[in-house]
Structure 1
Amino acid sequence: MARWEPGTSDRLRAAALDLFVEQGFEQTTSAEIAHAAGVTERTFFRHFRDKREVLFGGQDQLELAFVTGIRDAPAGAPPLDLVAAALDSAAQFFTDERRASSRVRQTVVDANPALQERERHKLASVAAVLRTELHAHGVPEPAARLAAESGATVFSISFAQWIAPGEERGMREIADGVLGALVSLTGAGAAEMEA
């Protein structure tokens, strides 16, 4: 078996997804993933701590994309504009080339309650990172928490739409639409309360 070749992480990820779909997540071992990718199990563990990381690796990169969007936004921008900048920056992470594997990944997550919990934890982590960065940008409470939780929700809904069968729009376009729907909804609610 090859010890190192370019693209090993991608091969391991693809082999894992195939096996997870075919056998189920719990029934698949790291040794089987390594074998299917043509590497040793030791090589698998050089790339991933465990088989869950195959599905959830890249969290740090995703969170950095959200943070970068806020950091690059103009000083004094309103909280939802900062969230929009974060979503715009994170959308670059979700290229058309990633859509097919993201769809497969989500079917694996949806079939396993423990993975669903991990996915919820991932979204909570995104909200926490957004909130921290909004604080750093001068947004006080409770606006920072409301904006951060709303941003994580917009991201979650947008991602679900992005991986939906037959969907071809880019993540940025979808996120803009979902955020627009939220802004429209909150605007209508405020107007009704004032009346």
Structure 2
Amino acid sequence: MARWEPNAAQRLATAALDLFDERGYDHTTVLDIAQRAGLAKSTFFRHFPDKRAVLFGEDTLTGPLLAALTAAPPAATPLEAVARGLDALGREVFTPERHLFVARRRAVIDAHPELQEREALKGLHLTAALTRALTDRGAPVLAAEVAAQLGALALKTAYERWSGTGGTGEFGTLARQALDEVRDATTAL
């Protein structure tokens, strides 16, 4: 591929996942990734600060999740607003076209404890953002925190199911099912 071709960030991410599969995360360098993508090392650093950022750099979840949550009807409960956010992730982020990339990303992260830690930290930031958005909607702090935690658990559950299905399930449906299961589990307590 020519260096001037568009979608350099996606090309780099795809090349990185290919190399992580072939050589392992620890045995892949930034230079390897850039060369595999047909780009210069400096192009890599225009898009990502390091190879770990290929897996974590772009926050594709927070924007759609919070936009849909914020747009929920004023009468929606905090958990109903979270459900709207999960629906948005199914339409905008966890699409059939992205399934293979997401599943491959998950496999790399699952194989490395330091990457799992980074993924968990990213989840904590997302939960905090959900809590803030819910309190901005007028939810009491404790209700917002509980809804955010339950929503994060439903998201994690749906993500694990969706990325492990081979692309046979729609994320929005899986997320709603997971949220229902989480809600049912709280009533069983």
Q: TM-score, normalised by structure 2?
A: 0.94
What residue identity is the alignment partner of 1:129? Answer: A
1:27-42 mapped onto 2 (5 Å cutoff): 27-42=27-42
What's the counterpart of residue 85 of structure 1? 84
Q: 1:163 to 1:37 in 2, by over 3 A?
A: same
Spell out the pairing of 1:133-144 with structure 2 (5 A cutoff).
133-144=133-144
Q: CA deviation at 1:124?
A: 0.7
Q: Which of the two has higher C-alpha Rg?
A: 1
In structure 2, the residue matched to 1:187 is 187
Unaligned runs of 5+ in 1: 190-195
Query: How far off is 1:110 after superposition?
Result: 0.7
Alignment of 1:71-150 (within 5 A): 71-92=70-91, 93-150=93-150
Native 8 Å contact 2:162 2:171 kept in 1: yes
Q: Mark the runs of 5 or more structure 2 residues left unpaired by the alignment.
A: none
* Paired AA for residue 36 in structure 1: R
Question: Residue type of the partner of 1:125?
Answer: H
**Contact 2:3 / 2:38 at 8 angstroms: preserved in 1?**
no
Output the amino acid matched with 2:11.
R
SS in 1 for 2:26: coil
Rounded to whole Å, the distance in 1 between the matches of 2:95 and 2:162 is 10
Shift of 1:167: 4.8
- Return the offset for 1:37: 0.7
Distance 1:186 1:28 in 2: 44
Determine the C-alpha separation between the residues in 1 that align with 2:5 and 2:118. Answer: 30
Runs (4 or more) in structure 1 with deviation over 3 Å come to none
**Distance between the aligned counterparts of 1:27 and 1:65, measured in 2?**
34
1:192 aligns to what?
none
- Give the Cα–Cα distance (whole angstroms) in 2 for the partners of residues 47 and 175 of structure 1: 31
Whole-Å separation in 2 of the counterparts to 1:78 and 1:109: 34
Contact 1:131-1:148 within 8 A present in 2 as well: yes
User: In the alignment, is the contact (CA less than 8 A) between 1:2 and 1:40 conserved in 2?
Assistant: no
Would you say the 8 A contact 1:94–1:171 is kept in 2? yes
| Matched-pair contact (CA < 8 Å) for 1:66–1:87 | yes
Q: How many residues align?
A: 188
TM-score for the superposition, normalised by structure 1: 0.91
Task: Give the stretch that moved more between structures: 50-59 or 26-35.
Answer: 50-59
Q: Deviations over 1:37-90 (max 9, x none)?
A: 11110011111121111111221x310111101111011321111111111112
Distance in 2 (alpha carbons) for counterparts of 1:167 and 1:90? 15
- The answer (yes or no) to whether the contact 1:69–1:90 under 8 Å persists in 2 is no
